[in-house]
Chains A and B, each alone.
Chain A
Amino acid sequence: MQPVLKASSIVKTFTEPAPFQVLKGIDFEVRRGEFLSIVGKSGCGKSTLLYILSTMDTAYEGRLEMNGSLLTGLSQNRLAQFRNAHLGFVFQFHYLLPEFSALHNVMLPALKLGRYSHSEVEERAMDKLRKVDMAEHALKNASRLSGGQQQRVAIARALINDPAIIMGDEPTGNLDKNNTQRVIGIFRELASEFGQTIIAVTHDPDFAESGDRIIEMTDGLITGERILQS
């Protein structure tokens, strides 16, 4: 079966303050439905890799394919459209739009995609909020939610367009123990019950151990891989 993501010979060089190769040649594939964590010490390049995979960073050498399409070399606008339809992001900081309600935050990417009517989008957004147990706070303004609540809304937003891949950059990095457990639980459920592909960079061993596979990076190269028994 075709992998949902394929990265070939990814090399990235920073030029400031001096030329420095942060990624020295990354090759790997991700299967559909896989829950993958990327771990490594600070500075190993794992976040840099994630942002290249996110299509937001286009300054790299190598080849990136997702969902059967070649993404390397596409224009910013085309990549934005791809992201809108096929990717969802969860960041370390919640990055909800503070002037909008939780519900509206979740709806925005779908309104942009324009595939469903406004009321259909609203229904689907409520559905995603239920999945992350935030339905009762739907109409609350995003700035009034606690950290853990905001992160769950962010996960619902990442899910709104039924993306092929959810990408996370330290999704539990800013959460306390309780909320971390909750978020791990949600990701676990998305992967096992709904077959959602998840790629996350993390420092949290509990998070990494709840997935299907762990890739370890050191100094810009993949130096280890572990398949986990569920």
Chain B
Amino acid sequence: MNLRLAFQIARTHLLAKKKQTLVAMLGVTFGISMFIVMISFMTGVNDFLFDIAIDGSPHVRLYNPVESSQPSPARKLYDSSHTVMVSGKRPKNELPRIKNGLKIAAEIAKMPGVTGVLPQAVSQVFFNNGPVQLPVTIVGTDADKEIQMYGLDKKMESGNIQDMKTGDDALLVGSGLAEKMNIRGGDRFSVTTPEGGIFMLKVAGTFSTGVGAIDDTRAYADLKTVQKLLNKNPDYITDIHIRLNDKEAATALRDQLTETYGYKAEDWKEANAALLAGESIRYFMTAVISLTLLIVAGFGIYNIMNMNIINKMRDIAILKATGFEGRDVVAIFLLQALLIGFFGGLLGLFIGFFFSYLISLAPFPAGGIFKVDTFPVNFKTLFYLAGLWFGMVTTLFAGYFPSRKAARIDPVEIIRG
């Protein structure tokens, strides 16, 4: 049969009862707009957190935590058939350093897939702010590598990152820290090291990563500056940061490094486990909620189509009496359902976009942990196409069964009453 004729009849039916058609559409509209808002927002948040994790972390970090988890010497004498219990174990007076750190770093740099290696000397120190002592993590590092691997130059708030290299007392201070100490570029202040030494350092600049935990507690200096501060030789390395070609290879490299060198290694996933933990939960929630909304919308359409068809039984009987076949009737009502799905869906896309846009303008109360002003929202064509597609599939199913029922109506029963 002419689909065009079915379409004309379907359209006439829908336009004749505008209010009812609108109500049917609203179910789909609501479901799809919620879907768009949720997925745009959820993926925005996920991507945002992921970027923070990736930006600030090395893919793999090699370091030497001073722990008691070394197996006790007694274990080396007795094999696993013996039970060894040692109490009161204390760590040796070991330095948290990586022996032959520079040599190891050079070896790692040659490994396949490695795009950057950054040896650091990290220590806890105290910044002296009058009588108050602020605990700070001072990172002795290489300015150019920090620029290459972490874009530290882009995070500078004042001063020039290259000034870190001049003299042996230049320091880059986190913005939160600078505020607490009330210092800025050019100021001098004193620093107390773990060994008890007191040194005067100069602020060469301030930086802001957006992560409050870092900006409030970290300072960067040239590797040699920190080594001198700690009274260690130029070979003193506590951390090796590694960047890879393919971040998914990080876990394998981590295990390989621990095996080869014996030191602890951590990949970016471990380092950001808390941040990333919520990701799959958020995706799952989005899927479940959107699906539920669409199913409910589908039921709404099913009900409305059923009602529609009950109201139209006489019309169907007449159509059949004048020679319309069962499949013509199916076409007419299925098209009605599809039109409702299409236009309801389109409206849902617009409303979804509108609210997504509003959300992207809303201030994000990240509580000072992350510096971001407004909610992160993703606008992707794929979401909108998927949303419309889901809406139409839902209406297709919702409309199909009532349409088939309509096609089976016995005209004689209806006409004879």
Contacts and interface: CB of A to CB of B under 8 A. Distances in A.
B315 A112 contact: no
B412 A83 contact: no
A99 B322 contact: no
B412 A51 contact: yes
Interface in A71-117: 76-77, 80-85, 87, 89, 91, 95-100, 108-109, 111-114
B161 to A, nearest CB: 74
Contact residue range for chain B? 20 to 34
A95 B412 contact: no
Interface stretch (B142-150, B323-331, B359-367): B323-331
A40 to B, nearest CB: 16
Nearest to B15: A99
Contacts, number: 70
Contacts of B328: 112
A58 B144 CA distance: 90
B325 A80 contact: yes
A81 B323 contact: yes
B412 A97 contact: no
Contact of A80 (B314, B317, B320): B320
B416 A80 contact: no
B320 A157 contact: no
Given A80-B323, A80-B324, A89-B321, A99 B1 contact: no
A85 B318 contact: no
A76 B326 contact: yes
A57 B328 CA distance: 19
B322 A83 contact: yes
Contact of B325 (A47, A56, A77, A85): A77
A83 B318 CA distance: 12
A95 B325 contact: no
A210 interface: no
Given A56-B412, A112-B1, A100 B323 contact: no
B260 to A, nearest CB: 77
Contacts of A109: 322-323
Interface of B: 1-2, 5, 9, 12-13, 15-16, 314-315, 317-328, 411-412, 415-416
